[in-house]
A and B are shown apart, each in its own frame.
Chain A
Amino acid sequence: MHQLTIAEIIRGLRDKQFSSAEITRHLLDRIQQLDGHYNSFITVTEEQALEQAAAADRRLAAGEAPALCGVPIAHKDLFCTRGVRTSCGSKMLDNFAPPYDATVVEKLNAAGSVTLGKTNMDEFAMGSSNETSYYGPVKNPWNVDCVPGGSSGGSAAAVAAQLVPGATATDTGGSIRQPAALTNTTGLKPTYGRVSRWGMIAFASSLDQGGPIARNAEDCAYLLSAMAGHDGKDSTSLNRPAEDYTRSLNDSIADLKIGVPKEYFGEGLNADVAARVETALKAFEALGAKLVEISLPHTDLAVPAYYVIAPAEASANLSRFDGVRYGYRCADPKDLRDLYMRSRGEGFGEEVQRRILVGTYALSAGYYDAYYNKAQQVRRLIKQDFVQAFEKVDVIMGPTSPNPAFAIGAKKADPVAMYLEDIYTIAANLAGLPAMSLPCGLVNNLPVGLQIIGNYLCEARMLNIAHQYQQVTDWHTASAFSIETAGGAGE
Chain B
Amino acid sequence: MAVDTQTVEKLAELARIAISAETIDEVSNRLGDVLQLVDQLQAVHTEGVAPMAHPLDEVQVLRADEVTEPNRREEFLALAPQSEAGLYLVPKVID
Binding site for B on A (CB under 8 A): 96-97, 99, 191-193, 206, 232, 235-236, 238-239, 300-301, 303-305, 307-308, 315, 319, 322-329, 333-342, 344-346, 348, 353-354, 356-358, 360-362, 364, 370-371, 373-381, 383, 414-416, 419, 431-433, 456
Q: How far is the CA of A432 from the CA of B39 in the complex (A)?
A: 23
Q: How far is the CA of A354 from the CA of B15 in the complex (A)?
A: 11
For the complex of A and B, 6 pairs with smallest distance between CB atoms: A432-B55, A345-B18, A376-B51, A329-B81, A377-B46, A326-B79
Interface of B is mostly: loop
Q: Is the CB of A342 within 8 A of B18?
A: yes
B31-66 vs A: 1/0 string, CB under 8 Å? Answer: 101111111111010100111111110101101000
Q: Is the CB of B55 within 8 A of A304?
A: no
Q: Is the CB of B15 within 8 A of A356?
A: yes
Q: Is the CB of B55 within 8 A of A307?
A: no
- Say whether B93 faces chain A, with CB atoms less than 8 Å apart: yes
What's the minimum C-beta distance from B86 to chain A, rounded to whole angstroms? 13
What's the minimum C-beta distance from B28 to chain A, rounded to whole angstroms? 10
Q: How far is the CA of A364 from the CA of B12 in the complex (A)?
A: 12
* A433 cross-chain contacts in B, Cβ below 8 A: 55
Q: How far is the CA of A315 from the CA of B51 in the complex (A)?
A: 20
B16-34 vs A: 1/0 string, CB under 8 Å? Answer: 1111100000010011011
What's the minimum C-beta distance from B9 to chain A, rounded to whole angstroms? 11
* A334 cross-chain contacts in B, Cβ below 8 A: 91
Q: Is the CB of B50 within 8 A of A377?
A: yes
Contact of B38 among A239, A308, A338 (CB under 8 A): A308
10 intermolecular pairs with C-beta atoms under 8 Å apart: A235-B60, A236-B54, A238-B56, A238-B58, A326-B81, A377-B44, A379-B51, A414-B33, A416-B36, A431-B55
What's the minimum C-beta distance from A335 to chain B, rounded to whole angstroms? 5
Contacts beyond the supplied A358-B38, A373-B51, A377-B51: 19 A-B pairs with Cβ under 8 Å: A97-B79, A192-B56, A305-B38, A307-B34, A324-B90, A326-B79, A328-B81, A329-B82, A345-B17, A345-B18, A357-B12, A360-B11, A364-B14, A370-B42, A375-B41, A378-B41, A414-B33, A432-B54, A456-B56
Q: How far is the CA of A336 from the CA of B17 in the complex (A)?
A: 13
* A337 cross-chain contacts in B, Cβ below 8 A: 16
* B52 cross-chain contacts in A, Cβ below 8 A: 376-377, 379-380, 383
Q: Is the CB of B17 within 8 A of A344?
A: yes
Contacts A339-B90, A356-B15, A364-B11; A374 near B55 (Cβ below 8 A)? no
Contacts A325-B88, A338-B91, A353-B17; A383 near B53 (Cβ below 8 A)? no
What's the minimum C-beta distance from B48 to chain A, rounded to whole angstroms? 9
Q: Is the CB of A324 within 8 A of B46?
A: no
- Say whether B2 faces chain A, with CB atoms less than 8 Å apart: no
Q: Is the CB of A354 within 8 A of B31?
A: yes
Q: How far is the CA of A381 from the CA of B50 in the complex (A)?
A: 9
Q: Is the CB of A360 within 8 A of B56?
A: no
What's the minimum C-beta distance from A235 to chain B, rounded to whole angstroms? 5
What's the minimum C-beta distance from A428 to chain B, rounded to whole angstroms? 10
